Amino acid sequence: MPGYFDEVDAKGLLAAYPTGEDFLTWGRGLSRDALRALQETRFVRIVQRAWEVPFYQRHWGNAGIEPGDIRGLDDLEKLPRFSKSHLMASVERHPPFGDYHGMDPARFNVVLHTTSGTTGAPQPLFFGAADRELQNLLLARAYLFQGLRPEDVIHSVYGFGMVNGGHYIREAVLHFTNSLLLPAGTGLETRSEQQVELMRRFGATVIVGFVDYLKRLAEVAGELGLDPAEDLSIRMISGHIGQEDRAAISASWGGAEIFDWYGVGDTGILAAEGPDHEGLHLWEDAHIVEILEPETGAPVAAGEAGNICDTVLFKDTIYPIIRFDTNDVSAILPGESPLGLPFRRIAGFQGRSDNMVKLRGINVYPTAIGAHLAEHPAATGEYVCRLRQAGGREDMTVEVEVREGAGPALTEALAELLRRKLGVRLDVALVAPGATAAATEIERRQKPIRLIDERT
């Protein structure tokens, strides 16, 4: 059987999916019509592969779709969406791996990881050698697009173990950049104090990771008596920023430039912010991204929020992904790319529709509350939401960590801030710095827990 690297043509991948300066030159010379033609070719190939996978045979067959019905992108909307709930149901019916993959040792090497399990049981993730390396390449494209240099020292706080994150970042940096990587992992793998010392000792210039823990590390640096502007050399942060206050994050790291990117474990990176800081450019040579109304699945207009639904144009080995509803909420930004690229842009991560709470008719996304709290100087940015039911009515209490001044006046000020931002009043409980860490597991998890459902 072929070895892993027998399945990977690195030079061919870079020719088909350029990075660095080659990416900018290629992208600026690519018209929307030429991009559409490229997407068509790649789409037809992955549909053909999907028909060989039992999950798609069943899922599409139940919707009345037969082989030959899907001839190109114009037929994409005929196909039913699927989400993590479909995949976990597949695992339950066909343990332990489900039937949404096409594992065949005679044809493909298989890389297995899982999701973090933040929204439920961990889900198996499958990669073939070629699409694994292409996924790595596309992340490296993002880092280079954002200004990564060969001389940079990258400090990564993505976790290892069964989750994909830390391995993904390590492979992307090692295989497709010339930068040096410090794979520190989460606070569980390398203590936060030790992480700050590693950055100082080895001269880290770039940090990559989830924004919640990046904010925590800045606090730890202060607790150790370090001034990031004087004692550390961080010039760039690339991670999952969402709606967070970029100015505050930048200031906490001595003025570092902040970049966002978006992706999920199944799909890899979909979009990345560039040097223009005008939204996240979709890698549309590798993905077809739709923004859909969560309940009906109907497409929404540019500028309107909806679920990110992704079709991956390069996963034609183990695990094809066609119309995967991530349940992550975002919006397409109107207008063309300021950088002259043919790709559309999204606003970035705005919350999860499957983690949404409806209170008195208002949709509340717990993962988005931190960005609102950050506007008040007393809040540290750490919080946890507790959903309760009493007397037939659902209420949410937000436990907010504050630096000082806890009392009725500050409680009311934060409650009023959230009411203005969200359109509904929430209860607020003030707690000391670090008091929510046990509930959110921020030192242990890549994505902290922000909602605890206590209705049962």
pLDDT digits (tens, 9 = 90+) for 328-371: 999 999 999 999 999 999 999 988 887 778 888 788 888 889 88
The per-residue pLDDT for 65 is 97
Fold match flag (1-354 vs 356-453): no
DSSP E strands in 67-172: the ranges are 110-114, 124-128, 153-156
pLDDT higher than 70, residue 162: yes
262 or 118: which leads in pLDDT? 262
In the CATH scheme, what is the code of domain 356-453? Answer: 3.30.300.30
pLDDT digits (tens, 9 = 90+) for 380-430: 889 999 998 877 788 899 999 999 888 999 999 999 999 998 888 999 999
Show Cβ contacts of residue 187 under 8 Å, excluding neighbours closer than 6 positions: 157, 195, 213, 216, 442, 443, 444
DSSP string across 19-60: -HHHHHHHHHT--HHHHHHHHHHHHHHHHHHHTTSHHHHHHH
Q: What is the separation of C-alpha 118 from the centre of its chain, rounded to a whole number of angstroms?
A: 13
CATH 3.30.565.10 applies to domain 1-354? no
Alpha-carbon distances of 280 from 15, 284, 349, rounded to whole Å: 23, 12, 10
Tell me which DSSP letter residue 293 carries: -
Strand partners, 364: 357
pLDDT digits (tens, 9 = 90+) for 240-250: 998 888 998 99
Q: Please say whether the dihedral angle defined by the alpha carbons of residues 247, 253, 259 and 265, taken in this order, is positive or negative.
A: negative
The per-residue pLDDT for 186 is 92
* The token pair that represents 247 in the structure block: 């100015």
Average per-residue pLDDT for the chain: 94
The per-residue pLDDT for 243 is 82
Show Cβ contacts of residue 102 under 8 Å, excluding neighbours closer than 6 positions: 49, 52, 53, 108, 317, 318, 319, 320
Question: What is the SS3 assignment for 324?
Answer: strand
Task: Give the pLDDT mean for 54-77.
Answer: 97
The per-residue pLDDT for 34 is 98
The per-residue pLDDT for 319 is 97
Give residue limits of the domains in the chain.
1-354, 356-453
Locate tokens 């149901």: which residue? 89
Cβ–Cβ under 8 Å, residues 340 and 28: yes
The per-residue pLDDT for 455 is 82
Cβ–Cβ under 8 Å, residues 330 and 315: no
Task: Give the pLDDT mean for 268-293.
Answer: 98
Q: What is the pTM of this model?
A: 0.85
